Structure 1
Amino acid sequence: MTERAATTVWSGDLARGAGEVSLDTSKAAAFTVSFPSRAQEANGQTSPEELIAAAHSSCYSMQLSGLLGANGTPPERIETSAVVSFGKKGDGFAILGIALTARASVPGLDGDKFGEIAETAKRICPVSAALTGTEITLDAALS
């Protein structure tokens, strides 16, 4: 088992406050967050939704690569983007959905088999599994 850690230090109220998210395990980066940059324009700051999009696109790419390799058709390249939608829902805010788009170069694999493997990767990717209850769509194709 592995564990990864991040910390956010927040100052102020929701409307005017801000926070800094640090990636504690890797020490790879620190990011500034605020509610206005989350709910409106990014203005050079990140958001929980963008961090989820980064996690999901990288996890999905790894899962797809693993399944393609297990199929005997390792990929030359996979490019995955994730768009996480955030907005008003009921009395508050929510993640409204996630749209994954994947393009892959996989020699020797036909489109139908690729689509089947791509859907399986979406279903079993650990980040997808953690986000059960959120609608996740997939547009996957060979490039």
Structure 2
Amino acid sequence: MAIRVRRRAEARWAGTVPTGKGHIRTASGALDSDYSLRSREADDAEFNTNPEELIGAGLAGCFAMSVANLLNVDGYADVGVTAKAMVQLEQTDAGFRITEITLSVTGSAAGLTDDEFALIADEAKRTCPVSLALAGTTITLSEKRVVG
């Protein structure tokens, strides 16, 4: 039987882009946050979320689950995975674009080697549903096995 899951989110915006503000929320209630041009441009925790941060969180979450699943399928035990995504937004001649996402992952599992972890991380990058949805963006991957 095929599994089909639908997730909902909503965003509202009021005013001009430079001075206006928006609000993003998810149906689950996990996210309910304001956003603005300042939250997209500033690297300051004082400001709320932004679309690029949410894309990064979605990719990191999906990717960590994918790596953990592949490790489990391959028979590894005591699995631990941490994924981080850095989303780069740039103003280009064609307008603002997400030009690159740097995805880093660390992981550990009993008996896992560096080479095996690199292969599994690469497979997760190729098969993670969010990675596939972001296929129009360059995703650069670095991986590191954690010993212990």
Query: Number of matched residues?
Result: 142
Q: SS at 1:78's partner residue?
A: strand
TM-score (norm 2): 0.91
| Alignment partner of 1:139 is 2:142 | yes
Q: Do the aligned partners of 1:87 and 1:94 also contact (CA within 8 Å) in 2?
A: yes
Give the aligned partner of residue 25 of structure 2: 22
Q: Do the aligned partners of 1:78 and 1:105 also contact (CA within 8 Å) in 2?
A: yes
Q: Do the aligned partners of 2:88 and 2:100 also contact (CA within 8 Å) in 1?
A: yes
Q: Do the aligned partners of 1:39 and 1:87 also contact (CA within 8 Å) in 2?
A: no
Counterparts of 1:35 and 1:48 in 2: how far apart (Å)? Answer: 10
Letter in 1 for 2:40: R
Letter in 2 for 1:36: R
For residue 40 of structure 1, report the CA deviation from its aligned partner. 3.3
Q: 1:38 aligns with which of 37, 40, 47?
A: 40
TM-score (norm 1): 0.94
| Alignment partner of 1:83 is 2:86 | yes
C-alpha RMSD of matched pairs (Å)? 1.2
For residue 32 of structure 1, report the CA deviation from its aligned partner. 0.8
For residue 9 of structure 1, report the CA deviation from its aligned partner. 1.3
Q: SS at 2:5's partner residue?
A: coil
Counterparts of 2:43 and 2:72 in 1: how far apart (Å)? Answer: 40
Unaligned runs of 5+ in 2: none
Unaligned runs of 5+ in 1: none
Give the aligned partner of residue 59 of structure 2: 56
Counterparts of 2:43 and 2:144 in 1: how far apart (Å)? Answer: 31
Q: Do the aligned partners of 2:33 and 2:49 also contact (CA within 8 Å) in 1?
A: yes
Q: How high is the sequence identity, in percent, across the aligned residues?
A: 36
Give the aligned partner of residue 118 of structure 2: 115
